[in-house]
Structure 1
Amino acid sequence: MDFYEPTIETKEIFSGRILNLRVDTIALPDGKTSLREIVDHKDAVAILPIVDDCMVFVKQFRKAIETVLTEIPAGLMEVGENIFETASRELQEEIGLKPMDLKYLGDMWPSPGFTNEKTALFMATQFEEEALEADDDEFIQIIRIPIPTVRALYLSGKFTDAKTACALGRYFSQCR
């Protein structure tokens, strides 16, 4: 069976700073048409920093779900950056450390049912202290958690942020 859904028409609904919303009219494999609401979103990176046998996380409020999450540092790519440059910049902005050994853990699609955002996952274990100015609208708390504790929290489902859970799964399956 051919699963491909060719786009017949695209209608832009909203254009914003980090995302755009469009509605695509598509052809289904059975010949019928349907609509797909698509969020065009900047690609992102997420980094699992390991310092002195602890993993470094950030706690921050997430307005879309009205709760505070514990997550690995992450951020959106800027025009002209590659994923390694973005990962380095984000760690410097969020935790004040410049990674010297970024290891690529692969990509993930956070929610491919409606967005084309792709997140590149990394880990890093060697750093230089070199902070960049943090985003002025981002309020975070940096926390360090020993790796055995992180593993127990991960296995019990305590990390509900998708990029964090995915990066931890890849770390514990590939690196430990």
Structure 2
Amino acid sequence: MGDRERGLMAPTGQRTDLLAAAAAFLTEHVPGLATVADPPARVPADGSAALGGLATEADVAGVVRVAGLTERVLGGHGEITPVPRTGQVRYYEDEIRTAAGTLIGTVSGRLEVVHERPGDGHRFAVRTEQVHLFGTLFHFSGLNDLTAEFAGAYVSVPGFAVAGELVGWSAVRSIHMTPTPFVSKVQLVLAR
């Protein structure tokens, strides 16, 4: 196994830490993102939230968190009603934007209601998504509590990068529905 397979490589061929590599990558792909030399400098000088505050998780080494993103539904077909029923399916196409409104990614997804919990009536759905973001194709899939999501709770879906510059990275997408129809807040946690 070569150095490239063992760890993320800087252009010089030297190994580099995850945060520096991720921030350098994001700087290249999101105009206006500052360097990683000083953590507060990761937010662009114009004061926009661009990637919301790219930062490491304080208690977990090797993790990059991207918050402050929004996701807007562009279209789709199928139906998930406000009180979902087992068997309902919805396909959707979304776009991901920074807080400043810059388009940085797209989502193609499928949501299928698969279970109603007898004890409290909560409905659960399998969410499967292909996300194009930061020059990388991510695959996400997991079970979400739709009842909690529709009530305003964050739901999370695990995934991993299957192609592109961040191939092999693990990720978790957290989604929070907002009062604005078809718009959600999104956070990502990325780990090498």
User: Which interval holds the TM-score relative to the shorter structure?
Assistant: under 0.3
TM-score (norm 2): 0.25
Give the TM-score, by structure 1 length: 0.26
The structure with higher relative contact order (CA 8 Å, sep 6+) is 1
Larger helix proportion, structure 1 or 2?
1
